[in-house]
Amino acid sequence: MPRTIDLVVNGVRHTVDADPDRPLLTVLRDELDLTGAKYGCGEGQCGACTVMLEDRALRSCQTKISVAAGKRITTIEGLEQHGRLHPLQEAFLEHDAMQCGYCTPGMIVSCAALLKRNPNPTEAEIVQAMQGNVCRCGTYPRIVAAMRSASMKMRRPA
Amino acid sequence: MIPELEPERYELMAGPAYNFSFGRRGFFKALGGGLVVVSYAAKAQESGGGRGRGGRAMPKEIGAWLHIDEKGAVTVFTGKVEVGQNARTSLTASVAEELGAPLTSIELVMGDTERTPFDMGTFGSMTTPQMVPQLRRVAAAARQLLPAEPWEKIDFAAAAKTLVTAESGAGKFKATADWKVLGTPVHKVNRREMITGRHHYTSDIKLPGMLYGRILRPERFEAKLVSFDAGAVSNEVTVVRDGDFAGVAASSPTAAAEALAALKAEWKGEPQTSARTLFSDLKQTAQPSKDGSSIESGLGAADKRHSATYTIAYIAHAPLEPRAAVADWNGDKLTVWTGTQRPFGVQGELAEAFRIPEKNVRVLMPDTGSAYGGKHTGETAIEAARLAKAAGKPVKVVWTREEEFTWAYFRPGGVIDVRSGITKDGKLVAWEFHNYNSGSSGINTMYDVAARKVEFHPSKAPLRQGSYRGLAATANHFARESHMDELAAMAGIEPLEFRLRNLKDDRFRAALQAAADRFGWGRQKSGNGVGFGIAGGFEKGSYVAACAEVHCEQGRAPRVVRVVESFECGAILNPDQLKNQVEGSVIQGMGGALFESIEFEDGRILNARFSKYRVPRFRDVPAIDVVLIDRKDLPPAGAGETPIVTIAPAIANAIFAATGERIRSMPLNAPASAQPASAGAARL
């Protein structure tokens, strides 16, 4: 039986009428029209669907909406604040850290979560944390460079 | 004879798209006033618009066109598409260069069968050598029609008050020395859409009332649907059975998945072969040789002879965005958004599938989540359209990862036999090269050898196979450059020196030398599990060489720690995006080189998931140094494919240098049981 569930996405509360077992990814994409998180594999192996739950990176294709209910969900669409890009987004622009761009939202959100718990990751720590994100175009060196430059900028006092 | 550019022989070509009744007048009218420049392709090939077999090109076929409105906004129309190879940016920069207009004033409409001129497709690295000069000519012609003032000073309302049309024939583009935009590191023009999640890929499209479709897949390839029961499916779901096609369309992806699971079906199929016998199967079913020539004279002159067999596994493109399509019918008119490298080809496939005129079908291609040669065909478009027709509503079909790994086509596996001879001073005097099934792209050797025989033998393929980035050039370079390395070892000559001794082509020599210099080739000796390997190549008008450092430890997979790759494709249009393509090719090529392999048995794919099919990830990435050779005196060639061809042999040669073990199969990390049986015959 369907029932209503509250999802707090990018600071906005949505009440959705959906099976509590439905994956968060399809609810975000198909009910809330937040299509920044992508389907890539459906088994949590590629990272394209990554969103943040509270401050942790989460594979939304593997997460039931009941688990996310009431908690703070951040998608790629929520990283831009008042027209200002997140430093990671700026760094991806600067480094052209993409080709087709399909993995990009998942990469940025995964790294945003990493920087929340470790604001100064080494290259090895970035590689370790990002191992679950796939870029089939092979732009990994640019992604690492963008992530490092963003982390440096974020630590500098404004 | 081997054609220089391998035809896309594996494609499921739809009938040629002869119907040209899409009204040119129509799209001019839709624009209102403004300045319009049209390019007529003199030859069909020039627009990538060959009509295929028969070559019945329209004499005055639109190749490209450009519109400038009263405010100076420029719209350019091209049938090419964007799949991450950055055509949108390089074409925009080309137009900006000739117009003297800012990049931000230019918008490209790409791959829309109603609005863009016919284009055969985006493949074969043809966008740069063909569409770039065409759009530059068009833009140059437009510039001549405008006042000779800086762009920002032009009164476009006056200049483009009435509809002006001109042919581009007169358009002469700038000399390379005068470039201001081309040759510079222009950023990807729509990258902001990508990093904010705002770009709508096909799989992100949602139309009012749209349903979500799923397709019932046979339990093995080529199986027939013998019984079908949809009794357990909710009445709200659209169910279609049409011959062996069956699918459902429902109001949510979850409802569609549930409906699919509720279908009861029985399939009947014939037993099929497995990956275990792949290489012997390919040899046994190969077409017999047509070439009666012989290299015996060369072998007679040789002091040392060698023969070896190389094998190449089937691999998958695995684009991160699986195939997707959204179909919308309006009466007998059909509109489909789909990620395809051949929008006009898919238009033809749809027209044929639904027996409607091509002019009733519009295919649009949003910038797509990569393709690598894997998105030429239109099955997803047909599936979505079939379900939409039954439902009377728009339908979106997005393949699951398992479907993408199973029902798309694969890069062909193959077997390559090489026989050769050298003199005692290391001169190559005999070369015989037979490729079974993997393809003829890049099959010819660039090395100087008097007695040569090179042949491609099509075989009965156990899997559906098709284009892949670089086509068979990767397999052929793997075999050739591995074999050259083996000959160097037999001759006792250092591998780079051995290659240069047998090579006259200056551009090839320069590419090898550039990679070697940057790498510090020869400064350190291989040994103790550390190996250095080199390989070079040429394909589709560009030259490439790679040096690799590989660390091998007993009982562990070899680790590639450093790669230098040089690349020369004539004059460089955009050094940073070119570097991006070369880096990406090295990394993607490492997957096929080291671990990617499709396992199959009896008509089923056994590893159709990312958890079972290993692709390169962050940890696999070595230090990569790209050396770009800018030949401003040469026209630019395409660069999205050829940089992939040398990484596998460079790694294989480095493993040999590290361990003395010669691995002759791709992927190199495959278990010993998958190595070619004859590999042991060549003792070094």
pLDDT, tens digit, 9 for 90 and up, residues A53-73: 999 999 999 999 999 999 999
Q: In the prediction, which pLDDT does A3 show?
A: 80
Contact assignment for B610 to A43 by CB distance below 8 Å: yes
Rounded CA-CA distance B36/B29 in Å is 11
φ and ψ of B395, to 5 deg: -130, 135
Q: Which residues of B touch A30 (CB under 8 A)?
A: 206, 212, 252-253
Residue listed under structure tokens 């050094």: B575
Q: Which band of pLDDT confidence, cut at 50, 70 and 90, is reported for residue B3?
A: very low
**Would you tell me how many other CB atoms lie within 10 Å of the CB of residue B498?**
24
Asked if the C-beta of B86 comes within 8 angstroms of chain A's C-beta atoms, the answer is yes
B165 vs A87, which has greater pLDDT?
A87
Indicate if the pLDDT at residue A99 is higher than 80: yes
**B197 vs B201: CA distance, rounded Å:** 10
Which structural domain range is residue A137 located in?
87-155
At residue A20, what is the residue type?
A: P
CATH of the domain at A135: 1.10.150.120
Tell me the CATH number at A72: 3.10.20.30
pLDDT band at residue B72 using 50, 70 and 90 as cut-offs: very high
State the average pLDDT for chain B.
90
pLDDT at B170 over 80: no
Domain boundary among A45, A61, A78: A78
Q: Do A101 and B84 touch (CB under 8 A)?
A: yes
Token representation of residue B643: 């940089």
pLDDT of residue B30: 58
Residue A51 has pLDDT above 80, yes or no: yes
Dihedral over Cα of A21, A23, A27, A30: its sign: negative
The CA distance from B9 to B13, in Å, is 9
Interface mutation target, options A22, A136, A142, A143, chain B, most CBs of B under 10 Å: A136
Model confidence band, residue B290 (pLDDT cutoffs 50, 70, 90): confident
In terms of domains, do A10 and A72 share one?
A: yes
Q: What is the mean pLDDT of residues B573-590?
A: 98
Of A36, A96, A127, the CB nearest to B197: A36
Please check whether residue B600 is in contact with residue B503, taking contact to mean a CB–CB distance below 8 angstroms.
no
Q: Do B212 and A30 touch (CB under 8 A)?
A: yes
Taking the whole predicted model, whether its pTM rises above 0.80 is answered as: yes
Q: Which residue blocks in B177-334 are alpha helix, DSSP H?
A: 191-196, 253-262, 278-284, 296-301
Copy the structure tokens of residue B647: 């990484």
User: Is 80 exceeded by the pLDDT of residue B167?
Assistant: no
Q: Higher pLDDT residue, A131 or B291?
A: A131
**pLDDT tens digits along B232-266:** 999 999 999 999 999 999 999 999 999 999 999 99
How many domains does chain A fold into? Answer: 2
Q: Is the pLDDT reported for residue B573 higher than 50?
A: yes
Domain identity same for A50 and A108: no
* Alpha-carbon span B317 to B202, nearest angstrom: 18
Q: Which two tokens stand for residue B490?
A: 């037999």
- Domain co-membership, A18 together with A69: yes
CA distance B203 to B380: 11
Average pLDDT over residues B111-139: 93
Q: Which pLDDT belongs to residue B39?
A: 76
Q: How confident is the model at residue A31 (pLDDT cuts 50, 70, 90)?
A: very high
**Cβ–Cβ contact B659 with A under 8 A:** no
The residue of chain B with its CA nearest to that of A34 is: B197
The whole-angstrom distance between residue B589's C-alpha and the CA centroid of its chain comes to 12
Banded model confidence at residue B14, pLDDT cuts 50, 70, 90: very low
Q: What is the pLDDT of residue B455?
A: 97
Q: For residue B74, is it left (φ>0), alpha (ψ between -120 and 50) or beta?
A: beta
Residue with tokens 């027939």: B224
R_g over Cα of chain B: 26
Please determine, for residue A118, whether its predicted confidence score (pLDDT) is greater than 70.
yes
CA dihedral B519, B524, B528, B534 (to 10 degrees): 40
Q: Tens of pLDDT along B474-529?
A: 999 999 999 999 999 999 999 999 999 999 999 999 999 999 999 999 999 999 99
pLDDT at position B31? 64
| Residues A93 and A74 occupy one common structural domain | no
> Which residues in chain B have Cβ-Cβ distances shorter than 8 Å to A26?
252-254
Domains, chain B, in order of start with CATH, read: 33-190 (3.30.365.10), 202-267+321-407 (3.30.365.10), 285-315+410-681 (3.30.365.10)
**A127/A100 same-domain check:** yes
Q: Is residue B120 helix, strand or coil?
A: coil
Q: Using the predicted structure, report yes or no on whether residue B459 has a pLDDT greater than 50.
A: yes
Candidate from B196, B199, B320 with C-beta closest to A40: B320
Answer yes or no: do A101 and B369 touch at CB < 8 A.
Answer: yes
